[in-house]
Amino acid sequence: MVEYIPLFMFAVVFVALTAGYPVALTLSGTALLFAFGGEIAGIFALNDLGFLPGRLFGILGNQTLIAIPLFIFMGVTLQKTRIADLLLSNMSLLLRSLKGGLAVAVILVGTLMAASTGIVGATVVTMGLMSLPTMLKQGYDPSIATGTICATGTLGQIIPPSIALVLLGDVLSNAYQQAQLSMNIFSPQTVSVGDLFAGALIPGLILVVLYSMYVIGRAHIFPHEMPGVLAPEQNSQDRIQVIKQLFTGLLSPLFLIIGVLGSILAGIATPTEASGIGAIGASILGLLQGKFNRSTLSEISLSTLKTTSMVFFILIGASVFSLVFRAYGGDELIQGLFSDMPGGKWGAMLVVMTIIFLLGFILDFIEITFVVVPIVGPVLLSMGIDPVWLGIMLAVNLQTSFLTPPFGFALFYLRSVAPAAISTVAIYRGVVPFIGLQMLLMLILVIWPELVSWLPNKMKG
């Protein structure tokens, strides 16, 4: 019975989270409850908690995690200075004569926003407030409009540089080293956040293309659902003004994202250094727009502080949980369960993906990354699964979970800002085709894993 205590810990955490208790306090509180209970029962030594200070100092001193507040600052700056609004209006101006052009503009702008924030809720709410009224005013079917916004908002899971990939890369790096040490490889290879960025680039672009092809194809088959707007006649002065707006409102944020990601892929900067470039670049863009003042900076800093504190608070709670979990032999229990599973590594992979998909209904990517991945990651990696491919598959899987009715987080976020006239059923109906496209992407990555591994190998080679 004692060997199944790690599973009981998970059960208690699940019940507490569904009851509405804060994630960080639930993780640490459950761990300490089982630790002190085990001490009373004589099955746990409180001396094991002595490793906790070292773990916490390791978190605070982790150079990779410094990128988190800087990337958050970059995304919040683009949002608060209304650069994203200008970006959407100018992209719509560029594609206004195309059937479904506004939907394509939402996808492309949402992609850039997702890359800069990496937080599903922030992207969905921002895009919902900016683009949903415009799409409805132009005559778009509510299901198409809401489905496009929800699907675009979840791109923050896979489009680099995103917070999700930074956190996942750091956790997978530790899991990969543990897996190699368990196989008696004492000179372990490493996997970095930059590798994960490189591995996510091609799958992310494929998904954006699939989204765009879907909305354009549907606009041609059902033109009444996504009407285009005829471009008015323009003189030369109007054209110059349009070109100027496109340059300031479209190209400058695009150059910022390309500069941040390009510096990482080219090996010029680490993700941490590139996050600093992004934060400074976003501030400069805000100044050039004349919307970066002391009041705005205060709002940006406060929002960044709140989000960063939330991330690290959960990380500390997850560290306490994993320490007690491992002290009770949780690693060996998971290893044994997966080893006895039919289908070998693919059977284990299918079970893990299913569990994480279901957990995505009640947990955000941060909790899943810090709690679940450190436990199942070393076991899967020791079975020979490529760490970068595993990371991308987990990211796309969570992205699909956040979009799936009736519990997908993206649906709740958009429902909170959508007009009451739009029914919840309409939102559910709109996301179904995009869920199918995401599942298609996962199938493509299973058949052709080289789409993930080619660019990281090219960088190393």
Q: 224-263 pLDDT, tens per residue?
A: 888 765 555 555 555 566 666 666 666 777 788 788 878 8
The shares of helix, strand and coil residues in the chain, as percent rounded to the nearest 5, are: 80, 0, 20
| pLDDT score recorded for residue 384 | 85
H-helix or E-strand spanning residue 150? helix 142-153
What are the DSSP calls for 368-411, one per residue? HHHHTHHHHHHHHHHTT--HHHHHHHHHHHHHHHTTSTTT-HHH
Flag the least confident range among 34-43, 200-209, 361-370: 361-370
Percent of the chain with pLDDT over 70: 91
Once rounded to an integer, what is the mean pLDDT over residues 142-168?
85
Closest CA to 413 of 199, 193, 129, 194: 129
Q: For residue 455, give both structure tokens.
A: 């660019």
Query: By the 8 A CB rule, do 168 and 196 touch?
Result: yes
| CA atoms of 318 and 55, how far apart (whole Å) | 11
Q: Give the sign of the dihedral formed by CA 427, CA 428, CA 433, CA 439.
A: positive
What digits encode the pLDDT tens for the residues 359-418?
787 677 777 888 788 888 888 888 888 999 999 999 999 888 888 887 777 887 788 778
| pLDDT score recorded for residue 435 | 93
Once rounded to an integer, what is the mean pLDDT over residues 308-332?
82
End-to-end CA distance of the chain: 50
pLDDT score of 211 more than 90? yes
Flag the least confident range among 180-184, 276-280, 426-430: 180-184
Q: How far is CA 104 from the centre of its chain?
A: 21
| pLDDT score recorded for residue 58 | 78
Q: How far is CA 46 from the centre of its chain?
A: 36
Instruction: Output 386 or 85, whichever has higher pLDDT.
Output: 386
| pLDDT score recorded for residue 440 | 95
The chain-wide mean pLDDT, for the chain, equals 82
Q: At what angle do helices 344-359 and 387-401 cross, to 10 degrees?
A: 40
Residues 6 or more apart in contact with residue 217 via CB below 8 angstroms: none
| CA atoms of 79 and 134, how far apart (whole Å) | 18
| pLDDT score recorded for residue 240 | 66
pLDDT score of 155 more than 80? yes
Query: By the 8 A CB rule, do 370 and 171 touch?
Result: yes
Q: Give the sign of the dihedral formed by CA 174, CA 176, CA 178, CA 181.
A: negative
Closest CA to 290 of 332, 246, 341, 248: 248
Task: Please report where in the chains the tokens 């998904």 appear, as a residue.
Answer: 207
DSSP 250: I
| CA atoms of 95 and 444, how far apart (whole Å) | 29
Query: By the 8 A CB rule, do 433 and 456 touch?
Result: no
What digits encode the pLDDT tens for the residues 98-112?
788 888 888 888 887
| CA atoms of 266 and 296, how far apart (whole Å) | 33
CA-based radius of gyration for the chain = 23
Once rounded to an integer, what is the mean pLDDT over residues 202-221?
92
pLDDT score of 208 more than 90? yes
| pLDDT score recorded for residue 238 | 58
Measured CA angle at 120 (ends 213, 18), to 5 deg: 125
Percent of the chain with pLDDT over 90: 14
Question: Residue 422 — left, alpha, or beta (φ > 0 → left; ψ -120 to 50 → alpha)?
Answer: beta
- For residue 326, what are the CA distances in angstroms to 3, 6, 31, 75? 11, 8, 11, 36
